[in-house]
Structure 1
Amino acid sequence: MRGSSSAPTGRVVDIVELLSQPRNRQMRFSDIADELGQTQGTAHAILKTLSDRGWVTRDPTTKSFELGPMLSLIAASLNTARPLAHVAREAARRLARTLDMPVSVVEVAGDELLITAFESPAHNPLQEAVTDRIPYLPPFGVAFAAWDTTEAQRNWITRGGAGDTDLERRLRAVLTRTRDRGYDVDWMTPALAQIAHALGAISVDTLPAGLRPIIDQLRVELASGLVDDELTGEDRTVATISAPALDDAGHTRLILGVHPMLAMSAPDIDHVAQQLLKEIRTLVSDTRG
């Protein structure tokens, strides 16, 4: 959405998001202010308002805050307000059981990808390593960008290309290849994914001028790895196989991603992908029906 954002609103959302994290569900007032870098006066005023409206509650014994009952009512309404997301979570749960692999639901919010659901077989520890927010720029979000609007694709490519016209051309080819195939395959190792995520979270505007070209070059190199990857005859470790659920205009509403973290052959990858695509066709049909 274009236009300037509201800093006061952002501070309110920061507190709600902070308390929504499992490790932060009970925090004292001073902890919240320190964690978010807010003044005590600002944090107190926001928490007082949120408490009055039932968005947070304060334990009288421990003096800690947690999410309140009003958010439970809002969450309960999401099944009807966002039916596709609700059905997608159920589809992810079925796929995780069927494939015995973790499955995620990912949506776009501005310049970020949000993991809004994650279903994992009980024995698989990958869930602990999942990041809730991922920057929407190469090498992330191919399955979104491949079916996005022309303007959104251009922005995604530009953010990853950092002025490298050859790389931008190759990124466009990646989107075309993915759309033609119907799904995306990501071979990025967890270590590289963490590096890419960290680089994507850095705002070059806040960096010393000497560091900006270095960060840009690192981003280019990571994005270059994306365009060089393709299905081959040799087995390779697959991090994610993902595909979109499309709206009536053919644009991505959300994506389902399977996370094998196993060495797989091209036929094995396609086998998983076909089950993924079948589940997506079902969830889209159920929502429209």
Structure 2
Amino acid sequence: MVRQSPPTERVVQVLDHLVAHPHARFGLSELARDLDLSKPTCLGILTVLTDAGYLLRDPAGRTYGLGPALIVAGRAAQRGYAVGPVAHRHLTELSARLGVVCTASGVVGDRIAVLDVAGAHGSAAGARVGEVYPFAPPVGLMFVLWDRDERVECWLRREPTLPVRIDHERLRRVIDECRRTGYLVESHTRGGQRLYALMAGVVAHDLAPDLRELLGELVSSPGERVLLPDRWDTAGAHAVNLIAAPVYDAEGHQSLVVAAHLERDVDIVEVERIGDALVATADAITRELGGRRPVR
């Protein structure tokens, strides 16, 4: 049974609204109207959050904005998910060297969360810290494929976000190849990227069975978007969305995935150059955070 807590949901609603408008300040009446809350309820929430330091109140304008306690909470969350100064420094250096957006993401509960973004410019600037996606087939393969096989099987057993067909033979080839090279090369068509963005936005809601079935028919099998050597034309180029590599924790499990977002046509020589640079960056982060590669 899923237990609901309307009072807690209202607190989250207030915080989400202010986080979505970090540079704005709101009065009590405006917030109550925007969030469809009664003024007494809204005032009670604002008062408690202000007393705790999560919000600041401007006495002159009687308006509210984000407070310093959120900075402390955010930094603690970053440390907890291994995205602190160490990872950010390496991502920034890699982004400057490659001239692309680089991100670090990890699994938080039952969701994939974007934890850091460096070099947010160009078409990949849409990657934002705090974005979440479902961690269940067909989404999330790269967060388990460098881990032990039982982690992969556990992910495959999760209830799919959409009905998908799993090509186990190809999936095994993808896993073996990515473990051999140390990185993953993923290709999306622009339509495919839009589809997955839409899917990530709606999976948390109950979809009508016929809509779920329709979307499921459009979604490819996990690993289908990974480019394998037999699909590379050594004299040509392919549309590559991103290249990703794993960061490991002290027990040899994947803790993060760092990715370079290319979103352009590249040849195999450039893929190997960027892939090697990404693996070196991921290994450097692993070492500095006290992690280690798994023993297979």
Output the TM-score relative to the length of structure 1. 0.79
Query: In the alignment, which residue of structure 1 is the partner of 2:285?
Result: 283
Secondary structure, counterpart of 1:201 in structure 2: helix
Measure, in 2, the Cα distance between the counterparts of 1:72 and 1:258: 27
Where 2:100 maps in the other structure, the secondary structure is coil
Q: How far apart are the structure 2 equivalents of 1:186 and 1:163?
A: 18
The answer to whether structure 1 residue 53 and structure 2 residue 55 are counterparts is no
SS of match in other structure, 2:262 = coil
Task: Note if 1:274 corresponds to 2:276.
Answer: yes
Q: Tell me the residue number matched to 1:15.
A: 14
- The offset of 1:25, in angstroms, is 4.6
Match in the other structure for 1:99: 98
Rounded Cα–Cα distance in structure 2 between residues aligned with 1:187 and 1:69:
41
Q: 1:174, 1:227 within 8 Å by CA — same for their partners in 2?
A: no
Q: Are the structure 2 counterparts of residues 255 and 212 from structure 1 closer, same or farther at C-alpha, using a change threshold of 3 Å?
A: closer
Q: Indicate the SS of the match to 1:248.
A: coil
1:252 aligned to 248, 251, 254, which one?
254
- Classify the secondary structure of the residue corresponding to 1:257: strand
Give the corresponding residue for 1:44.
Answer: 43
The structure 2 residue matched to 1:235, chosen from 237, 242, 246, is 237
Q: Which amino acid aligns with 1:249?
A: E
Alignment of 1:46-195 (within 5 A): 46-75=45-74, 84-120=83-119, 124-126=121-123, 128-131=125-128, 132-138=131-137, 140-148=139-147, 149-150=151-152, 152-155=154-157, 158-159=159-160, 162=163, 164=165, 166-167=166-167, 170-171=170-171, 173-195=173-195
- Report what 1:201 is aligned to: 201
Q: Structure 2-normalised TM-score?
A: 0.78
Answer whether contact 2:124 2:261 (CA < 8 A) is retained. no
Change (3 A) 1:205 1:277: closer
Q: For residues 82 and 201 of structure 1, do their structure 2 counterparts lie closer, same or farther at Cα, with a shift above 3 Å needed? A: closer
Q: Aligned residue pairs: how many? A: 281
SS at 1:96 equivalent = helix
Kindly indicate whether the alpha-carbon contact (under 8 Å) linking 2:81 and 2:255 is maintained by their aligned counterparts in 1. no
> Structure 1 regions of 5+ residues with no counterpart?
none
Aligned residue identity for 1:245: V
Cα displacement (A) at 1:78? 6.0
- Secondary structure of the 1:226 match is coil
**Aligned residues of 2:25 and 2:63 also touching (Cα < 8 A):** yes
Identical-residue share of aligned pairs (%): 22
Q: Secondary structure at the match of 1:159?
A: coil
**2 CA distance for matches of 1:225 and 1:39?**
49
Give the unaligned 5+ runs of structure 2: 292-296
